[in-house]
Amino acid sequence: DAKTTQPPSMDCAEGRAANLPCNHSTISGNEYVYWYRQIHSQGPQYIIHGLKNNETNEMASLIITEDRKSSTLILPHATLRDTAVYYCIVRVDNNDMRFGAGTRLTVKP
């Protein structure tokens, strides 16, 4: 199984970039990296996903290393509303989405 490792918690100053790392050293060639976040008592919210290339959308950027063994989610200008638990997920089979422990990001004023 491809599994992910994330730091349990991180802090970030409001307005600064938040860089959330994820290790997935056993990832296979056709497995995507997904990022979701969850604000307390809500369902997980999709952020971004990628396979090999770096990706960017209106919420974030995803940087995947060339060997695909790790990735970084970047929130370019963190706000207080970005305080949440961020999950990095590698899709093991076609239809399985299994969550790791996640990183609790706290954005501070």
Contact residues: other proteins, CB under 8 A: 34, 36, 41-46, 49, 85, 87, 94-102
Q: Decide: 55 and 104 in contact? Cβ < 8 Å.
A: no
**Side chain identity, residue 104:** R
Phi, psi dihedrals of residue 13, rounded to the nearest 5°:
-80, 140
Q: Decide: 60 and 84 in contact? Cβ < 8 Å.
A: no
Nearer to other proteins, 21 or 100 (CB): 100
Nearer to other proteins, 12 or 89 (CB): 89
Minimum CB–partner distance for residue 4 and other proteins (Å): 10
Rounded to whole angstroms, what are the CA distances from 79 to 4, 62, 93? Answer: 26, 18, 34
Minimum CB–partner distance for residue 16 and other proteins (Å): 26
Minimum CB–partner distance for residue 42 and other proteins (Å): 6
Nearer to other proteins, 44 or 78 (CB): 44
